[in-house]
Amino acid sequence: MNYTDGNTLTCGLIGNPVHHTMSPLIHNSIAQMKGINLVYVPFEVPKGGVKNAVRGANALGIKGLNVTVPYKSDVIDHLVEIDPLAEGIGAVNTLVRCEGGFKGYNTDMTGLYHAMQDEGIVLDGQTVVILGAGGVARPVAYLCATKGARKVYVLNRTYEKAENVAKEVNEALDEDLGDMVIPMPLDSYKELLSKEDSFFAIQCTSVGLFPDVNSAVIEDEEFYKHVHAALDVVYKPLETKFMKLAKAAGAKTFSGLKMLLYQGIDAFELWFEEDNIKISKEEADIIYKSLVMDVMGATNIILEGFMGSGKTTVSELLSEELELELIDTDEAISEAEGCSISEIFDVQGEQAFRDMETDLIKMLVDEHVREMVISLGGGLPVRKENRELLKKCGKVVYLKTSPEEVYNRIKDDTSRPLLRGDDPLSKIKKMQEERGGFYEEAADIIIDTDGKTPKEIVSEIIGSLGIE
Protein backbone atom coordinates (compact mmCIF):
# COMPACT_ATOMS: atom_id res chain seq x y z
CA MET A 1 0.00 0.00 0.00
CA ASN A 2 1.26 3.50 -0.80
CA TYR A 3 -1.10 5.27 1.62
CA THR A 4 -2.36 5.04 5.20
CA ASP A 5 -5.89 5.41 6.48
CA GLY A 6 -8.02 4.51 9.46
CA ASN A 7 -7.58 0.81 8.71
CA THR A 8 -3.79 0.82 8.42
CA LEU A 9 -2.09 -1.80 10.61
CA THR A 10 1.19 -0.93 12.33
CA CYS A 11 4.19 -3.12 13.04
CA GLY A 12 7.63 -1.95 14.03
CA LEU A 13 11.03 -2.41 15.61
CA ILE A 14 12.18 -1.46 19.10
CA GLY A 15 15.86 -1.14 19.94
CA ASN A 16 18.65 1.39 20.34
CA PRO A 17 19.95 2.46 17.89
CA VAL A 18 17.54 1.64 15.05
CA HIS A 19 18.25 4.32 12.44
CA HIS A 20 20.33 1.96 10.25
CA THR A 21 17.80 -0.88 10.23
CA MET A 22 16.85 -2.59 6.97
CA SER A 23 13.72 -4.17 8.46
CA PRO A 24 11.30 -1.56 7.03
CA LEU A 25 12.45 -2.51 3.52
CA ILE A 26 11.63 -6.19 4.21
CA HIS A 27 8.24 -5.74 5.87
CA ASN A 28 6.90 -2.88 3.79
CA SER A 29 7.91 -4.82 0.64
CA ILE A 30 6.00 -7.89 1.84
CA ALA A 31 2.95 -5.80 2.72
CA GLN A 32 2.95 -4.26 -0.74
CA MET A 33 3.40 -7.67 -2.43
CA LYS A 34 0.51 -9.13 -0.46
CA GLY A 35 -1.76 -6.09 -0.75
CA ILE A 36 -1.89 -5.66 3.04
CA ASN A 37 -2.66 -2.19 4.41
CA LEU A 38 0.28 -2.09 6.83
CA VAL A 39 3.16 0.22 7.66
CA TYR A 40 6.35 -0.88 9.45
CA VAL A 41 8.38 1.73 11.35
CA PRO A 42 11.38 1.73 13.73
CA PHE A 43 11.00 3.02 17.31
CA GLU A 44 14.16 3.99 19.19
CA VAL A 45 13.61 3.11 22.86
CA PRO A 46 15.77 4.85 25.48
CA LYS A 47 17.60 2.89 28.17
CA GLY A 48 15.17 1.57 30.75
CA GLY A 49 12.19 2.14 28.49
CA VAL A 50 11.41 -1.41 27.34
CA LYS A 51 8.55 -1.96 29.79
CA ASN A 52 6.82 1.23 28.73
CA ALA A 53 7.46 0.49 25.06
CA VAL A 54 5.76 -2.92 25.26
CA ARG A 55 2.85 -1.55 27.31
CA GLY A 56 2.46 1.38 24.93
CA ALA A 57 2.51 -0.88 21.87
CA ASN A 58 -0.22 -3.00 23.43
CA ALA A 59 -2.32 0.04 24.32
CA LEU A 60 -1.94 1.50 20.81
CA GLY A 61 -2.97 -1.71 19.10
CA ILE A 62 0.40 -2.36 17.45
CA LYS A 63 -0.01 -5.68 15.60
CA GLY A 64 3.53 -6.91 16.11
CA LEU A 65 7.06 -5.85 16.95
CA ASN A 66 10.61 -6.88 16.26
CA VAL A 67 13.19 -6.41 19.01
CA THR A 68 16.86 -5.70 18.40
CA VAL A 69 19.89 -4.96 20.59
CA PRO A 70 20.15 -4.27 23.44
CA TYR A 71 16.65 -5.45 24.46
CA LYS A 72 16.33 -9.05 23.22
CA SER A 73 16.67 -10.44 26.75
CA ASP A 74 15.27 -7.48 28.70
CA VAL A 75 11.93 -7.69 26.88
CA ILE A 76 11.20 -11.21 28.17
CA ASP A 77 10.06 -9.97 31.61
CA HIS A 78 7.31 -7.91 29.99
CA LEU A 79 5.68 -10.64 27.90
CA VAL A 80 2.53 -12.65 28.56
CA GLU A 81 4.00 -15.81 27.02
CA ILE A 82 7.23 -17.04 25.39
CA ASP A 83 7.84 -19.66 22.73
CA PRO A 84 9.98 -22.65 23.86
CA LEU A 85 12.74 -21.95 21.29
CA ALA A 86 13.06 -18.33 22.44
CA GLU A 87 13.02 -19.48 26.06
CA GLY A 88 15.78 -22.00 25.39
CA ILE A 89 17.88 -19.40 23.60
CA GLY A 90 17.15 -16.76 26.22
CA ALA A 91 16.44 -14.08 23.63
CA VAL A 92 13.36 -12.73 21.85
CA ASN A 93 13.32 -10.75 18.62
CA THR A 94 9.63 -10.96 17.60
CA LEU A 95 6.49 -10.05 19.55
CA VAL A 96 3.10 -11.33 18.42
CA ARG A 97 -0.10 -9.85 19.85
CA CYS A 98 -2.05 -12.24 22.04
CA GLU A 99 -4.66 -11.97 24.78
CA GLY A 100 -3.43 -9.53 27.41
CA GLY A 101 -0.25 -8.46 25.63
CA PHE A 102 2.46 -10.09 23.50
CA LYS A 103 4.02 -13.51 23.03
CA GLY A 104 7.77 -13.67 22.35
CA TYR A 105 9.47 -15.65 19.59
CA ASN A 106 13.00 -15.89 18.21
CA THR A 107 12.92 -15.71 14.42
CA ASP A 108 16.63 -14.85 14.29
CA MET A 109 17.29 -18.55 14.67
CA THR A 110 14.43 -19.85 12.53
CA GLY A 111 15.55 -17.30 9.95
CA LEU A 112 19.12 -18.56 10.13
CA TYR A 113 17.87 -22.13 9.71
CA HIS A 114 15.74 -21.14 6.70
CA ALA A 115 18.76 -19.36 5.18
CA MET A 116 20.79 -22.56 5.64
CA GLN A 117 18.04 -24.60 3.98
CA ASP A 118 17.88 -22.10 1.14
CA GLU A 119 21.60 -22.63 0.59
CA GLY A 120 21.33 -26.44 0.84
CA ILE A 121 23.19 -26.62 4.15
CA VAL A 122 22.40 -29.80 6.13
CA LEU A 123 23.18 -29.74 9.87
CA ASP A 124 22.22 -33.33 10.66
CA GLY A 125 25.36 -35.25 11.60
CA GLN A 126 27.64 -32.32 10.75
CA THR A 127 30.37 -30.64 12.77
CA VAL A 128 29.86 -26.90 13.28
CA VAL A 129 32.60 -24.44 14.24
CA ILE A 130 31.45 -21.10 15.65
CA LEU A 131 33.97 -18.26 15.71
CA GLY A 132 33.21 -15.88 18.57
CA ALA A 133 31.36 -16.11 21.87
CA GLY A 134 29.32 -12.91 21.88
CA GLY A 135 25.57 -12.37 21.87
CA VAL A 136 25.03 -14.12 18.52
CA ALA A 137 27.11 -17.23 19.31
CA ARG A 138 24.85 -18.61 22.05
CA PRO A 139 21.62 -18.82 20.01
CA VAL A 140 23.54 -20.08 16.95
CA ALA A 141 25.11 -22.86 19.04
CA TYR A 142 21.70 -23.74 20.49
CA LEU A 143 20.10 -23.88 17.05
CA CYS A 144 22.82 -26.09 15.56
CA ALA A 145 22.75 -28.42 18.56
CA THR A 146 18.96 -28.84 18.38
CA LYS A 147 18.92 -29.31 14.59
CA GLY A 148 21.05 -32.43 14.56
CA ALA A 149 24.67 -31.24 14.51
CA ARG A 150 27.10 -33.92 15.69
CA LYS A 151 29.39 -31.47 17.51
CA VAL A 152 29.44 -27.71 17.96
CA TYR A 153 32.76 -26.03 18.74
CA VAL A 154 32.86 -22.47 20.08
CA LEU A 155 36.21 -20.75 19.49
CA ASN A 156 36.98 -17.42 21.13
CA ARG A 157 40.03 -15.34 22.05
CA THR A 158 38.83 -15.18 25.66
CA TYR A 159 38.38 -18.84 26.55
CA GLU A 160 36.17 -18.09 29.57
CA LYS A 161 33.52 -16.56 27.31
CA ALA A 162 33.51 -19.64 25.08
CA GLU A 163 33.22 -21.76 28.23
CA ASN A 164 30.22 -19.77 29.43
CA VAL A 165 28.43 -20.10 26.08
CA ALA A 166 29.05 -23.86 25.99
CA LYS A 167 27.88 -24.27 29.61
CA GLU A 168 24.69 -22.25 29.08
CA VAL A 169 23.74 -24.04 25.87
CA ASN A 170 24.53 -27.52 27.19
CA GLU A 171 22.36 -26.83 30.26
CA ALA A 172 19.50 -25.67 28.04
CA LEU A 173 19.64 -28.80 25.85
CA ASP A 174 17.79 -32.03 26.53
CA GLU A 175 19.82 -34.36 28.74
CA ASP A 176 20.05 -37.01 26.04
CA LEU A 177 22.06 -34.63 23.83
CA GLY A 178 24.83 -34.43 26.42
CA ASP A 179 27.57 -31.77 26.45
CA MET A 180 27.82 -31.49 22.68
CA VAL A 181 28.88 -27.83 22.65
CA ILE A 182 32.65 -27.70 23.14
CA PRO A 183 34.60 -24.52 24.06
CA MET A 184 38.09 -23.95 22.68
CA PRO A 185 40.61 -21.08 22.75
CA LEU A 186 40.82 -19.41 19.34
CA ASP A 187 44.58 -19.84 19.13
CA SER A 188 44.12 -23.63 19.52
CA TYR A 189 42.30 -23.94 16.19
CA LYS A 190 45.06 -26.18 14.78
CA GLU A 191 44.14 -28.76 17.42
CA LEU A 192 40.63 -28.67 15.97
CA LEU A 193 41.98 -29.32 12.45
CA SER A 194 43.64 -32.49 13.67
CA LYS A 195 40.28 -33.73 15.02
CA GLU A 196 37.85 -32.66 12.29
CA ASP A 197 38.44 -33.13 8.57
CA SER A 198 35.45 -31.07 7.46
CA PHE A 199 33.05 -28.63 9.12
CA PHE A 200 30.53 -25.83 8.65
CA ALA A 201 32.06 -22.56 9.91
CA ILE A 202 29.91 -19.69 11.23
CA GLN A 203 31.61 -16.34 11.83
CA CYS A 204 29.83 -14.62 14.76
CA THR A 205 32.16 -11.71 15.56
CA SER A 206 32.23 -8.15 14.23
CA VAL A 207 35.65 -8.71 12.64
CA GLY A 208 35.40 -7.88 8.95
CA LEU A 209 32.58 -5.39 9.46
CA PHE A 210 32.99 -2.16 7.48
CA PRO A 211 35.41 -0.34 7.64
CA ASP A 212 37.61 -3.22 8.94
CA VAL A 213 37.10 -5.11 5.67
CA ASN A 214 40.59 -6.60 5.35
CA SER A 215 40.53 -8.67 8.54
CA ALA A 216 39.35 -12.15 9.49
CA VAL A 217 39.36 -13.86 12.89
CA ILE A 218 41.46 -16.67 11.39
CA GLU A 219 43.55 -15.93 8.30
CA ASP A 220 45.44 -19.23 8.07
CA GLU A 221 44.58 -20.82 4.70
CA GLU A 222 44.98 -24.28 6.25
CA PHE A 223 41.90 -23.65 8.42
CA TYR A 224 39.73 -22.96 5.37
CA LYS A 225 40.78 -26.18 3.64
CA HIS A 226 38.60 -27.94 6.24
CA VAL A 227 35.57 -25.67 5.70
CA HIS A 228 32.90 -27.14 3.38
CA ALA A 229 30.44 -24.28 3.98
CA ALA A 230 30.75 -20.87 5.61
CA LEU A 231 28.34 -18.23 6.89
CA ASP A 232 29.33 -14.77 8.10
CA VAL A 233 26.68 -13.00 10.18
CA VAL A 234 28.29 -9.75 9.01
CA TYR A 235 26.70 -8.51 5.78
CA LYS A 236 28.43 -5.15 5.31
CA PRO A 237 30.40 -5.83 3.16
CA LEU A 238 28.49 -8.60 1.43
CA GLU A 239 31.70 -10.59 0.97
CA THR A 240 33.95 -10.34 4.02
CA LYS A 241 37.55 -11.51 4.09
CA PHE A 242 36.36 -14.60 6.01
CA MET A 243 34.03 -15.44 3.11
CA LYS A 244 36.71 -14.74 0.50
CA LEU A 245 39.15 -17.09 2.23
CA ALA A 246 36.49 -19.80 2.52
CA LYS A 247 35.41 -19.40 -1.11
CA ALA A 248 39.02 -19.52 -2.34
CA ALA A 249 39.37 -22.88 -0.54
CA GLY A 250 36.31 -24.22 -2.37
CA ALA A 251 33.65 -23.79 0.34
CA LYS A 252 30.04 -22.77 -0.26
CA THR A 253 29.60 -19.31 1.28
CA PHE A 254 26.66 -17.09 2.13
CA SER A 255 26.10 -13.77 3.85
CA GLY A 256 24.20 -12.97 7.04
CA LEU A 257 21.92 -10.88 4.83
CA LYS A 258 19.91 -14.04 4.10
CA MET A 259 19.50 -14.60 7.83
CA LEU A 260 18.19 -11.04 8.12
CA LEU A 261 15.76 -11.64 5.25
CA TYR A 262 14.30 -14.87 6.60
CA GLN A 263 14.02 -13.70 10.21
CA GLY A 264 11.87 -10.88 8.82
CA ILE A 265 9.79 -13.24 6.70
CA ASP A 266 9.25 -15.61 9.65
CA ALA A 267 8.17 -12.68 11.84
CA PHE A 268 5.71 -11.42 9.21
CA GLU A 269 4.18 -14.88 8.83
CA LEU A 270 3.76 -15.11 12.62
CA TRP A 271 1.94 -11.76 12.71
CA PHE A 272 -0.46 -12.98 10.01
CA GLU A 273 -0.59 -16.66 10.97
CA GLU A 274 -4.40 -16.59 11.36
CA ASP A 275 -4.69 -15.26 7.80
CA ASN A 276 -2.35 -18.01 6.52
CA ILE A 277 -0.06 -15.45 4.84
CA LYS A 278 2.96 -17.21 3.34
CA ILE A 279 5.87 -15.65 1.46
CA SER A 280 7.01 -17.73 -1.52
CA LYS A 281 10.62 -18.44 -2.48
CA GLU A 282 10.14 -16.22 -5.55
CA GLU A 283 8.89 -13.33 -3.39
CA ALA A 284 11.76 -13.86 -0.91
CA ASP A 285 14.27 -13.72 -3.78
CA ILE A 286 12.85 -10.39 -5.00
CA ILE A 287 13.17 -8.85 -1.53
CA TYR A 288 16.68 -10.29 -1.14
CA LYS A 289 17.80 -8.56 -4.33
CA SER A 290 16.44 -5.28 -2.94
CA LEU A 291 18.38 -5.83 0.29
CA VAL A 292 21.59 -6.51 -1.65
CA MET A 293 21.12 -3.35 -3.68
CA ASP A 294 20.50 -1.43 -0.44
CA VAL A 295 23.69 -2.79 1.15
CA MET A 296 25.56 -1.87 -2.02
CA GLY A 297 24.14 1.64 -1.67
CA ALA A 298 21.35 1.07 -4.22
CA THR A 299 24.13 1.30 -6.74
CA ASN A 300 24.44 0.54 -10.44
CA ILE A 301 26.14 -2.51 -11.91
CA ILE A 302 28.55 -1.35 -14.62
CA LEU A 303 30.10 -3.66 -17.21
CA GLU A 304 33.37 -2.80 -18.94
CA GLY A 305 35.59 -4.78 -21.28
CA PHE A 306 37.15 -5.11 -24.69
CA MET A 307 35.12 -5.91 -27.80
CA GLY A 308 34.22 -9.57 -27.82
CA SER A 309 34.05 -9.73 -24.03
CA GLY A 310 30.29 -10.27 -24.25
CA LYS A 311 29.24 -6.94 -22.68
CA THR A 312 26.14 -6.52 -24.85
CA THR A 313 24.72 -10.00 -24.34
CA VAL A 314 25.76 -10.25 -20.70
CA SER A 315 24.31 -6.84 -19.81
CA GLU A 316 20.98 -7.78 -21.40
CA LEU A 317 20.82 -11.10 -19.54
CA LEU A 318 21.91 -9.46 -16.28
CA SER A 319 19.26 -6.73 -16.48
CA GLU A 320 16.60 -9.38 -17.16
CA GLU A 321 17.75 -11.60 -14.31
CA LEU A 322 17.84 -8.76 -11.76
CA GLU A 323 14.87 -6.91 -13.26
CA LEU A 324 16.92 -3.71 -13.62
CA GLU A 325 16.82 -1.16 -16.42
CA LEU A 326 19.69 -1.28 -18.93
CA ILE A 327 21.73 1.58 -20.37
CA ASP A 328 24.25 0.99 -23.17
CA THR A 329 26.40 4.14 -23.29
CA ASP A 330 27.10 3.83 -27.01
CA GLU A 331 23.40 3.39 -27.79
CA ALA A 332 22.43 6.26 -25.46
CA ILE A 333 24.86 8.65 -27.16
CA SER A 334 23.86 7.49 -30.63
CA GLU A 335 20.18 8.02 -29.82
CA ALA A 336 20.82 11.47 -28.31
CA GLU A 337 22.83 12.60 -31.34
CA GLY A 338 20.49 11.01 -33.87
CA CYS A 339 23.30 9.23 -35.71
CA SER A 340 25.65 6.26 -35.39
CA ILE A 341 28.90 6.26 -33.40
CA SER A 342 30.94 5.97 -36.62
CA GLU A 343 29.14 9.05 -37.99
CA ILE A 344 29.98 10.98 -34.82
CA PHE A 345 33.64 10.01 -35.26
CA ASP A 346 33.59 11.01 -38.94
CA VAL A 347 31.80 14.35 -38.51
CA GLN A 348 32.68 15.58 -35.02
CA GLY A 349 35.82 13.58 -34.28
CA GLU A 350 36.85 11.13 -31.54
CA GLN A 351 37.50 13.89 -28.97
CA ALA A 352 33.89 15.06 -29.23
CA PHE A 353 32.65 11.51 -28.74
CA ARG A 354 34.87 11.01 -25.69
CA ASP A 355 33.48 14.24 -24.22
CA MET A 356 29.96 12.89 -24.78
CA GLU A 357 30.88 9.73 -22.84
CA THR A 358 32.18 11.81 -19.94
CA ASP A 359 29.08 14.03 -19.96
CA LEU A 360 26.83 10.96 -19.89
CA ILE A 361 28.58 9.36 -16.90
CA LYS A 362 28.70 12.72 -15.12
CA MET A 363 24.95 13.09 -15.63
CA LEU A 364 24.31 9.62 -14.17
CA VAL A 365 26.35 10.57 -11.09
CA ASP A 366 24.85 14.07 -10.69
CA GLU A 367 21.29 12.81 -11.08
CA HIS A 368 21.92 9.96 -8.59
CA VAL A 369 20.74 7.37 -11.09
CA ARG A 370 20.54 4.03 -9.25
CA GLU A 371 19.70 0.35 -9.69
CA MET A 372 20.58 0.05 -13.36
CA VAL A 373 22.85 -2.14 -15.45
CA ILE A 374 25.21 0.06 -17.48
CA SER A 375 27.19 -1.32 -20.42
CA LEU A 376 30.19 0.86 -21.27
CA GLY A 377 31.74 1.58 -24.62
CA GLY A 378 35.16 -0.07 -24.86
CA GLY A 379 37.16 3.16 -24.73
CA LEU A 380 35.21 4.94 -21.98
CA PRO A 381 37.39 3.78 -19.01
CA VAL A 382 40.58 4.95 -20.73
CA ARG A 383 39.99 8.57 -19.69
CA LYS A 384 41.06 9.16 -16.06
CA GLU A 385 38.11 11.45 -15.31
CA ASN A 386 35.74 8.72 -16.43
CA ARG A 387 37.37 6.13 -14.15
CA GLU A 388 36.93 8.48 -11.19
CA LEU A 389 33.28 9.07 -12.11
CA LEU A 390 32.63 5.35 -12.47
CA LYS A 391 33.70 4.79 -8.85
CA LYS A 392 30.92 7.18 -7.79
CA CYS A 393 28.41 5.68 -10.21
CA GLY A 394 28.38 2.05 -9.13
CA LYS A 395 30.11 -1.33 -8.97
CA VAL A 396 32.33 -1.84 -12.04
CA VAL A 397 32.67 -5.38 -13.39
CA TYR A 398 35.54 -5.98 -15.83
CA LEU A 399 34.78 -8.77 -18.28
CA LYS A 400 38.35 -9.88 -18.93
CA THR A 401 38.95 -11.78 -22.17
CA SER A 402 42.16 -13.06 -23.74
CA PRO A 403 43.17 -11.70 -27.20
CA GLU A 404 42.77 -15.17 -28.72
CA GLU A 405 39.25 -15.50 -27.30
CA VAL A 406 38.34 -12.02 -28.58
CA TYR A 407 39.57 -12.92 -32.05
CA ASN A 408 37.62 -16.18 -32.09
CA ARG A 409 34.44 -14.40 -31.03
CA ILE A 410 34.56 -11.53 -33.52
CA LYS A 411 36.59 -12.87 -36.47
CA ASP A 412 33.48 -13.30 -38.64
CA ASP A 413 32.16 -9.80 -37.93
CA THR A 414 33.14 -7.89 -41.10
CA SER A 415 31.86 -4.61 -39.67
CA ARG A 416 34.76 -4.43 -37.19
CA PRO A 417 37.43 -1.95 -38.42
CA LEU A 418 39.97 -3.71 -36.21
CA LEU A 419 39.68 -6.85 -38.34
CA ARG A 420 40.56 -5.11 -41.57
CA GLY A 421 44.07 -5.49 -42.95
CA ASP A 422 46.80 -7.89 -41.94
CA ASP A 423 47.25 -9.71 -38.62
CA PRO A 424 44.14 -8.59 -36.67
CA LEU A 425 45.18 -10.71 -33.67
CA SER A 426 48.29 -8.56 -33.17
CA LYS A 427 46.12 -5.43 -33.32
CA ILE A 428 43.82 -6.89 -30.66
CA LYS A 429 46.80 -7.73 -28.44
CA LYS A 430 48.22 -4.23 -28.78
CA MET A 431 44.93 -2.51 -27.96
CA GLN A 432 44.35 -4.79 -24.99
CA GLU A 433 47.82 -3.96 -23.67
CA GLU A 434 46.96 -0.27 -23.97
CA ARG A 435 43.56 -0.55 -22.25
CA GLY A 436 43.92 -3.49 -19.86
CA GLY A 437 45.51 -1.48 -17.05
CA PHE A 438 42.76 1.14 -17.24
CA TYR A 439 40.05 -1.52 -17.06
CA GLU A 440 41.65 -3.09 -14.00
CA GLU A 441 42.06 0.28 -12.29
CA ALA A 442 38.35 1.04 -12.75
CA ALA A 443 37.14 -2.44 -11.73
CA ASP A 444 35.66 -3.54 -8.41
CA ILE A 445 35.22 -7.09 -9.71
CA ILE A 446 37.13 -8.92 -12.45
CA ILE A 447 35.46 -11.85 -14.24
CA ASP A 448 37.50 -14.08 -16.58
CA THR A 449 35.14 -14.78 -19.50
CA ASP A 450 37.29 -17.22 -21.50
CA GLY A 451 35.43 -20.43 -22.30
CA LYS A 452 32.26 -19.32 -20.52
CA THR A 453 28.75 -18.81 -21.88
CA PRO A 454 26.97 -15.49 -21.28
CA LYS A 455 24.69 -17.24 -18.77
CA GLU A 456 27.69 -18.59 -16.86
CA ILE A 457 29.22 -15.11 -16.79
CA VAL A 458 25.97 -13.59 -15.49
CA SER A 459 25.81 -16.23 -12.76
CA GLU A 460 29.39 -15.44 -11.72
CA ILE A 461 28.69 -11.70 -11.62
CA ILE A 462 25.61 -12.22 -9.45
CA GLY A 463 27.60 -14.48 -7.13
CA SER A 464 30.48 -11.98 -6.88
CA LEU A 465 28.01 -9.23 -5.97
CA GLY A 466 26.46 -11.47 -3.30
CA ILE A 467 23.02 -11.47 -4.93
CA GLU A 468 22.63 -15.23 -5.46
Which residues does the annotation mark as catalytic? Answer: 72
| Fold exhibited by the domain 297-465 | Rossmann fold (3.40.50)
Please tell me if the domain spanning 9-105+261-282 has the same topology as the one spanning 297-465: yes
Superfamily grouping for domain 110-255: NAD(P)-binding Rossmann-like Domain (3.40.50.720)
- H helix runs in 225-338, sequence order: 241-248, 257-271, 281-295, 311-322, 329-337
Domain ranges (residues) in the chain = 9-105+261-282, 110-255, 297-465
Beta pairing partners, 255: 232
Contact 330, 423 (CB under 8 A): no
Identity of residue 326? L
Burial tier of 398 (Cβ tally within 10 Å: 0-12, 13-18, 19+) = buried
Superfamily grouping for domain 9-105+261-282: Leucine Dehydrogenase, chain A, domain 1 (3.40.50.10860)
Maximum alpha-carbon separation in the chain: 86
What is the residue-level pLDDT of the chain in tens, covering all 468 positions? 456 888 999 999 999 999 889 999 999 999 999 999 999 999 999 999 999 999 999 999 999 999 998 999 999 999 999 999 999 888 999 999 999 999 999 999 999 999 999 999 999 999 999 999 988 899 999 999 999 999 999 999 999 999 999 999 999 887 777 789 999 999 999 999 999 999 999 999 989 887 677 899 999 999 999 999 999 998 888 888 999 999 999 999 998 999 999 999 999 999 999 999 999 999 999 899 888 878 776 678 999 999 888 899 999 999 998 878 899 999 999 999 999 988 998 899 999 999 999 999 999 988 878 788 999 999 999 999 999 999 999 899 999 999 998 888 877 766 565 566 677 788 889 888 999 999 999 999 999 999 999 999 998 998 888 765
Contact 311, 326 (CB under 8 A): no
